[in-house]
Structure 1
């Protein structure tokens, strides 16, 4: 489950740009400080389009997110810093179940898509789990980067495989490195 469940559509969303070792992160929070979207500047158009579809009545304004300190601590090496960030992903019940289960993957560990499918009680739904994982709107906080291929290799990541590689290495996870830095 999300750390918080918003009762209504937000009226205002704040977009913060946070410098990280792997690019500028886009962090979108609502009036309550709940994370609604996370992406990278090279995917800003895609994220804005997604926000427009999910929160059509919300005004998006640049500003400072109350989650900024947690993101700064995480990227500086405090790997537990994001565990306190409240989030709410706009998605189907199935997607939300997958996203909530992603939060069960311990820092420094990885799961396969098959293991994630088993964890939600749908062992035959590996492809659907992969699609839900790939549509996670609050990446890094909901650690979709911790899901790898059945052979231990890196597989798709919305922010690009070099970022996935960095995040996993930052967290001390083991994986087969087949991505150029």
Structure 2
């Protein structure tokens, strides 16, 4: 059984999902892939300790603190490849950005491969079910494009601005499939 509650954040209402012990999702209203790989219905239940811990984490994050994803019992649902990408995302420092290509190179090295598709990594980043806490908003295109955020480009910009990231070299693409 899976449970849900909501959290009112500066970037809109977030839906938190849990299996009762672990956080399985943090989704923005209207987000692409809302609900992720959770195949069962989410039952509203506010009082779970994991939800209290997630709310506290989010309160601290939006207050300008730098809580670590490792502080929470995260259990995003996805295959091993996606899990590897999501673990890499958790290593991106607060307020910093990286590219899909850089993540692909890091993952290839971890797997003992010569190369890895940046597009494959981008697909896994885009399906991250634990928005904000697993910081997929910190990933941009190699050319500085802010493409590819399931919660929407304006939200990605707000989160990066909140963290004090250097946005001077970044831009919103005029067209693309990930807008």
Verify same fold: TM over 0.5: yes
Conserved 8 A contact 1:73-1:81:
no
In the alignment, which residue of structure 2 is the partner of 1:98? Answer: 85
Counterparts in 2 of 1:106 and 1:76: CA distance versus 1, 3 Å: same
In the alignment, which residue of structure 2 is the partner of 1:114? Answer: 101
Secondary structure at 1:47 match in 2: coil
Counterparts in 2 of 1:153 and 1:125: CA distance versus 1, 3 Å: same
TM-score under structure 1 length normalisation: 0.80
1:40 equivalent among 7, 28, 48: 28
2:15 equivalent among 14, 26, 34: 26
In the alignment, which residue of structure 1 is the partner of 2:156? Answer: 164
In the alignment, which residue of structure 1 is the partner of 2:176? Answer: none
Conserved 8 A contact 1:71-1:81:
no
Conserved 8 A contact 2:31-2:152:
no
Secondary structure at 1:124 match in 2: coil
Offset at residue 79 of structure 1 (A): 2.2
Offset at residue 49 of structure 1 (A): 7.2
Once the two structures are overlaid, the 10-residue window that deviates more, 109-118 or 61-70, is 61-70
Q: Does 1:127 align with 2:116?
A: no
Note the residue ranges of structure 1 that are not aligned, 5 or more in a row.
1-10
Counterparts in 2 of 1:14 and 1:156: CA distance versus 1, 3 Å: same
TM-score under structure 2 length normalisation: 0.81
In the alignment, which residue of structure 2 is the partner of 1:5? Answer: none
Counterparts in 2 of 1:111 and 1:74: CA distance versus 1, 3 Å: same
In the alignment, which residue of structure 2 is the partner of 1:149? Answer: 141
